[in-house]
C-alpha cells in the first residue's frame, strides 16, 4: 500500500505526517507540485510481460499523459532482486539530485521510495503497484529501490537522452531511512 511520511529536513526521527490514504497523499504532494495518481490496467499483466504488452495495458493513461505533458518517449524498466548490477543501480539514485525535466514514473509492479526535499521538509513516498508519481523538474529528491529491488516501471521522458541527474552533494539522503519494503 502507498505511504507518505513527512519529516523536518533536520530530524529523521520525528514524523510530522504518516498516511496511507491515497487521496491524502495526492493532496499533500500537490501542495509541493508533485503529481500522485492511481492507475488500473485495462488488461492483466503477467510477470515477464514484454515492454509492448505493458505499454498496451496502460495505453489510454499513457497517451493522456503524453498529450498533457509533451513527453517524447516512454519505456519500461524492470529490476529483479537477482539483477547482477542491482547494487550499482541502487547507488546511482541514492544521492540527492534534480533533473532538468519532470521525472514521471508509473509502478506496474513492485515498489520503490522517492524522497523529496522541499521547503525544509522531506517527503518520503512509498510507491507501489498502480502508483504514478511526477516529480517536477529541478525538485531535489532521491530514489531508493531497496537492497533487493523488485519493480517494473513505466518511465516518461521529454529529452531524447532521458534521465540526467544533477547531484547536490548535500549528504541529506544518508540521514533518512533507506527503503525496506519488508518492514512496511
Q: Measured between alpha carbons, how far is 118 from 33 in angstroms, rounded to an integer?
A: 10
Alpha helices, DSSP H, located in 58-177? 59-69, 86-94
User: Could you report the per-residue pLDDT of 68-124, keeping only the tens digit for each?
Assistant: 999 999 999 889 899 899 999 999 999 999 998 999 999 999 999 999 999 999 999
d(CA 37, CA 68): 14
Question: pLDDT at residue 63 above 90?
Answer: yes
Torsion, Cα of 74, 67, 24, 57 (10° steps): -50
The CA-CA-CA angle for residues 61, 63, 69, to 5°, reads: 100
> What would the pLDDT profile of 14-53 be if each residue is shown by its tens digit?
999 999 999 999 999 999 999 999 998 777 777 678 899 9
CB neighbours (10 Å) of residue 174? 12
Q: Where are the beta strands (DSSP E) in 40-136?
A: 73-79, 97-98, 103-118, 121-128, 131-135
3-class SS of residue 51: helix
Q: Where are the domains of the chain?
A: 3-172
CATH numeric code, 3-172: 2.60.120.10
For residue 184, pLDDT beyond 60:
no
Strand 103-118 versus strand 166-167 pairing type: unpaired
Please write the tens of the pLDDT for every residue from 119-150: 999 999 999 999 999 999 999 999 999 999 99
What is the pTM assigned to this prediction?
Answer: 0.93
pLDDT at residue 22 in the model:
96
Amino acid at each position: 500500500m502507498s505511504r507518505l511520511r513527512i519529516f523536518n529536513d533536520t530530524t529523521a526521527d520525528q514524523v510530522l505526517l504518516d498516511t496511507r490514504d491515497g487521496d491524502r497523499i495526492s493532496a499533500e504532494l500537490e501542495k509541493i507540485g508533485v503529481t500522485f495518481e492511481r492507475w488500473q490496467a485495462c488488461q492483466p499483466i503477467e510477470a515477464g510481460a514484454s515492454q509492448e504488452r505493458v505499454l498496451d495495458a496502460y495505453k489510454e493513461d499513457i497517451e493522456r499523459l503524453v498529450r498533457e505533458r509533451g513527453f517524447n518517449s516512454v519505456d519500461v524498466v524492470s529490476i529483479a532482486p537477482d539483477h547482477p548490477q542491482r547494487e550499482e543501480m541502487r547507488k546511482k539514485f541514492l544521492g540527492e539530485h534534480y533533473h532538468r525535466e519532470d521525472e514521471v514514473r508509473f509502478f506496474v509492479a513492485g515498489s520503490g521510495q522517492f524522497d523529496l526535499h522541499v521547503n525544509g521538509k522531506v517527503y518520503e513516498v512509498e510507491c507501489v503497484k498502480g502508483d504514478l508519481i511526477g516529480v517536477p523538474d529541478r525538485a531535489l529528491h532521491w530514489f531508493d529501490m531497496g537492497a533487493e529491488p523488485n519493480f517494473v516501471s513505466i518511465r516518461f521522458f521529454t529529452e531524447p537522452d532521458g534521465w540526467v541527474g544533477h547531484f547536490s552533494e548535500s549528504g541529506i539522503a544518508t540521514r533518512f531511512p533507506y527503503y525496506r519494503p519488508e518492514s512496511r
